[in-house]
Structure 1
Amino acid sequence: MTMHKGSCLCGAITYELKSEPKAVTHCHCRMCQKQHGAAFATYASIPKSDLTYLSGENLLVSYNSSASIVRKFCGLCGSNIEWVGSEEYPDWVSLTLASLDSPFKPNRVKRVRVESQVCWLQQ
C-alpha cells in the first residue's frame, strides 16, 4: 500500500494516511458548496486513528457547521482539510480529496445530497 500524504495550499499543514481512503463522495449539500465555493466538495473517509498530522496541526481552525459536524481548515491559507462528527461513523474522519499530494484514484465515487445540486452544473 502506498502511504498517502497531503497538505494545505500554503504547505503549513501536512498529514499522512496509514490506510487507503474509503467512501469517496461528491457532496452537493449547501454547506459544502458554501465552504468550498464550488458546486460540490469531494471527500474520502478513513479511520481517525489512520490520520497523522506531520506539521501545522495547531493551525487548524474548527467551525461547527451543524450540531455534530466540525469542519477544519488552515488558519493561514483557508484550505479545507477535514470534517468530523458523523453520528453514524464517529471514529472516522473525512478529508478533502484534493488536498492529497500523492496520486489516488478511487474505484467508485458516490454522489450525495444531490437534491441541493446547483442548476448550472453540467452532468
Structure 2
Amino acid sequence: MLTGSCLCGRVAYEADAEIDGVIHCHCETCRKAHGAAFSSLAAVPRDRFRWIRGDAVRKSFESSPGKLRHFCSECGSQIAAERAGRPTVMLRLGCLDTPIEAGRQWHIWRSDGATWYDPAAALPELPEGFPPT
C-alpha cells in the first residue's frame, strides 16, 4: 500500500499498487509547476488509487489539454496528475509517505532541461543543511 500527502497534511491518498519505475521529468511545465530542476513521478493504476482526505482543499489545474495536476490549495504541494482516458495516475513522489525502492529510472524531456542542472554531474552530498560558507 502506497500512501502520500501534501506538506500541510490536509490532502492524502492511498494506492494499492507497487512502483514499477521512476521518471524524472525535466519538461518546462514540470519545472515551473514544482519550482525545481525536475519532477520525480511514478504511475499507478487509476482503479487502485483513491483520495482519502482533502476534498475541500484539493484543487486541479489543467496544465495542458486533458492533463490535470492536483494540488493542495492550502500549502501548494503538487500531489498527483492524470490525463483524461489514461489508465494511470501519476504520483508526484516528493509527496509519497511510503518508502520505496526506485528500481528502474529514467530522465525524460532533457531537451527542456534547466541549463544550471546536469543529472550526470557528481555533486557533493551533505547529510543535512547547507554547505559551510
Give distance in 1, aligned partners of 2:10 and 2:84.
27
> Please, which moves more after superposition, 99-108 or 34-43?
99-108
| % same residue | 36
Give distance in 1, aligned partners of 2:84 and 2:108.
14
The alignment of Structure 1 onto Structure 2 pairs a total of residues equal to 119
Q: What's 1:67 paired with? A: 65
Q: What's 1:19 paired with? A: 17
Give distance in 1, aligned partners of 2:84 and 2:37.
22
Runs of 4+ in 1 over 4 A off after TM superposition: none
Q: Which runs of 5+ in 2 are unaligned?
A: 121-133
Give distance in 1, aligned partners of 2:83 and 2:8.
26
Q: Could you tell me which of 108, 113, 116 is aligned with 1:112? A: 108
| 1:26 Cα offset (Å) | 0.3
Q: Larger Rg: 1 or 2?
A: 2
Q: Could you tell me which of 39, 42, 56 is aligned with 2:40? A: 42
CA RMSD of the aligned region, Å? 1.4
| 1:104 Cα offset (Å) | 0.7
Conservation of the 8 A alpha-carbon contact between 2:19 and 2:43: yes
Give distance in 2, aligned partners of 1:7 and 1:94.
14
Give the AA of the match of 1:110: W
Give distance in 2, aligned partners of 1:5 and 1:63.
22
Give the AA of the match of 2:8: C
Give distance in 2, aligned partners of 1:83 and 1:58.
18
**Secondary structure class of the residue paired with 1:118:** coil
Give the AA of the match of 1:34: K
| 1:34 Cα offset (Å) | 0.2
